[in-house]
Structure 1
């Protein structure tokens, strides 16, 4: 019968730096932001896979990956537009480069 060996080092206990949390809480307040980030990574990876498949001569895989990349980018753009954090459509024009609000001089 095998006997249990004693640990050579004691059990580690959790301590954080000055009582601060180890990982900060997310700053977004909408539940679809992680989905936006996931879709961005998915479309980027699919576009790289599409390029590699086309170079290797796998046209069907290249087409499937390209369609996946386009769908992920389109859905991700929709989630990005939906995430205005309550700013509203009045200020959205400033984010796209056509600022419709007057600039006030000091």
Structure 2
């Protein structure tokens, strides 16, 4: 990857990690606590030296989701509205990530 750095455990060139590594696990999330991208909350837990703080609602207009295939950075609304595909390159995203949405960004309970 030549775009933003993605931190985690055994992260490959498309942001898959040791925890999530299917063909659709190509998204990384930026955390508010450190402004760093991680492929998953488990990578943050294992490699960061601080507690994770999800991306706050008041920053949803800032790019905080990374497509690991084309390196396009998305805002949370762009990511959530993309129907599990990158709006730039059409790479499929894992719909299962929504089950953990509250670990990546503030939700009102309707996302997961």
Band the TM-score falls in, shorter-chain normalisation: under 0.3
Q: Which structure has the larger Rg?
A: 1
Greater percentage in strand: 2
TM-score after normalising by structure 1: 0.21
Greater percentage in helix: 1
TM-score after normalising by structure 2: 0.20
